[in-house]
Amino acid sequence: MFLLRAGIAAAGLVSSALGFVNKTTCNGKTYTYEELAGYGTVPSNSRDEFGDTLNFGSGLALDRSQWKKLSNGSYTGVLWGLPDRGWNTQGTLNFQPRVHKFDILFTPKPEATVANPSAKNLIFTYKETIRFYGPDGTPCTGLDGDTTGHLSYPGFPDLPVATFTGDGFGGPGPGGKRIPVDSEGIVLNADGSFWISDEYGPFVYRFNASGRMTTAIRPPPAILPMRNGTVSFSADSPAYYEGADAEPVIPSDGPTGRNNNHGFEGLTVSGDGKNLYLLLQAATNQEGGLTSQTERYTRLLKYDISVPSKPRHARQFVVPLPLYVDPTAKPAKNPKVASQSELFHIQDEQFFVLARDSNFGHGQDVTLSTYRHIDIFDVSAATDIMGDTYDCANCSVASSQGVLKAGIKPAEYCSFIDMNLNSQLNRFGAHNGGAQDADLLNEKWESIGIVPVDGLVGDDDEWFVFSISDNDFITQDGYMNGGAFKYADESGFNLENQALVFKIKLPEHSRPFNRD
């Protein structure tokens, strides 16, 4: 069990005077966190080509074909950034899910120190946006799914449905039904198509290069949310325009399946592009998912996508999420589980995972985060739980109190990058804890992408790891619905879109991607 207490450094933390911040060995393979290498932001009131406020931290993908090292030591590339379901802190909206593309310019500043910090050295230039559509060309939506019912299309499993009135923003319109998508992870394909993982279903969808849905993965029954004896895709996230008139969802939390807003936060692909991996944010409800103290044992699913139109469930494992002590909670409410927000396949059944605490950071009552990590787990010796024993609607790998069942061996979990270290953040003017300013780290960090330091294939095993925060579209100058719906978040805050870049060394001869 890995447990981090506030004020105590992670095991293995080494002085940067020795040339690195931390070394971790996971199942015999050594990883080195060398330094924080970069920091950049995009203003909270930035807008995309359709006039809507920009948010892009729920998932990221770096186009490997566009990553270049320049003669002056800088790097250029193209980053795909995935927004959340639209501004939703006061209710969900009929926001059309989408993905944004940015040109990035990154100039490492290894000489930066706390005493002489670097200016922001990661620059984003907005390029374009692809919006998502269902199989029939109807736009998808960020609205919550209905408590009952579904949409059907030839060649697809039954999909969640969201029914809305008017324009879905509180204005006049014809109403309608759309596929609700709360995007959380993204994987790019060589043909221009891409996979998106979702929290509402939770499903995984494949979209073509124009944003039209072509394939859907519906998970096993144990993961599908149930209410009153039937599949119920609602996350109890009423529409903004319903206000106090919203019909109550009873019960708010179903007895089995993914918990509300705890779907497939993690999505990644093997280096050869033949296997997708999906990771639930935390345990299903029947396995302890109803409380932050018991939601530790989550599920990792592997799908063979050799034939993209026919994904095949291939394997499944249990991943034990880390524990941390919440300094604001009573002893009886500690320790808590650091639920995960992103996944990245490294090689040989080892993965990066972004696990973090909640309700700490910019815009929160408490600004100091205790646990915000990019860690590692290894499934090479873990029990394959795929099959009827654990995949039926009432089946479980753990008790409702989060106790893992005998005979199941979970993944090995290893701590790695502590994103909260002010000794690194301060080198670029960012900070964890302290004043509520634009450089205080946001609460939610939900993405991982890696590119080689050599600008080629990473033969020296040196890599940059990118991560971006999800700012929940929080701004005082916000727009949705093509710019027609103006809003100011009731928090009073403007949260920048923040990005961090870490320099690491992978185990010797690592190959996160196939050689082209």
> Is the distance from CB of 485 to CB of 471 less than 8 angstroms?
no
Residues written for the chain: 516
Provide DSSP, 72-127. TS-EEEEEEEE--SSS-BTBB-----EEEEEEEEE---TT--SSSPPPP-EEEEEE
pLDDT (tens digit per residue) in 48-99:
999 999 999 999 999 999 999 999 999 999 999 999 999 999 999 999 999 9
Provide the sign of the torsion angle of the four alpha carbons 485, 211, 272, 265, taken in this order.
positive
* Structure confidence at residue 514 (pLDDT): 80
pLDDT (tens digit per residue) in 419-469:
999 999 999 999 999 999 999 999 999 999 999 999 999 999 999 999 999
CB atoms within 10 A of CB 163: 16
Q: What is the mean pLDDT of the chain?
A: 95
> Is the distance from CB of 196 to CB of 183 less than 8 angstroms?
yes
CA-to-CA dists, residue 306 to 125, 194, 301, angstroms: 34, 14, 16
- Residue linked to tokens 């978040």: 489
CA-to-CA dists, residue 157 to 6, 146, 211, 305, angstroms: 45, 17, 19, 16
Measured distance CA(362)–CA(50) in Å, rounded? 28
* Structure confidence at residue 515 (pLDDT): 67
Q: Taking 70 as the threshold, does the pLDDT of residue 496 lie above it?
A: yes
* Structure confidence at residue 312 (pLDDT): 98
* Structure confidence at residue 17 (pLDDT): 59
Q: Taking 60 as the threshold, does the pLDDT of residue 3 lie above it?
A: no
Q: Taking 50 as the threshold, does the pLDDT of residue 45 lie above it?
A: yes
Phi, psi dihedrals of residue 423, rounded to the nearest 5° = -65, -20
In this prediction, residue 277 has a pLDDT band, given cuts at 50, 70 and 90, of very high
Pairing of the two strands 323-324 and 3-4: parallel
The structure tokens listed for 393 are 């609607």
CB atoms within 10 A of CB 63: 14
CB atoms within 10 A of CB 315: 17
pLDDT (tens digit per residue) in 221-259:
999 999 999 999 999 999 999 998 999 999 999 999 999
CB atoms within 10 A of CB 50: 14
Measured distance CA(373)–CA(354) in Å, rounded? 6
In this prediction, residue 378 has a pLDDT band, given cuts at 50, 70 and 90, of very high
Measured distance CA(69)–CA(50) in Å, rounded? 32
> Is the distance from CB of 473 to CB of 90 less than 8 angstroms?
no
Burial status of residue 264 (CB atoms within 10 A of its CB: 0-12, 13-18, 19 or more): buried
Q: Taking 80 as the threshold, does the pLDDT of residue 362 lie above it?
A: yes
- Residue linked to tokens 């500690």: 334
Burial status of residue 237 (CB atoms within 10 A of its CB: 0-12, 13-18, 19 or more): buried
> Is the distance from CB of 294 to CB of 402 less than 8 angstroms?
yes
- Residue linked to tokens 């394909």: 189
Strand order in the sheet with 266-269: 266-269, 275-279, 297-304, 312-320
In terms of pTM, does the model score above 0.85? yes
Measured distance CA(303)–CA(316) in Å, rounded? 9
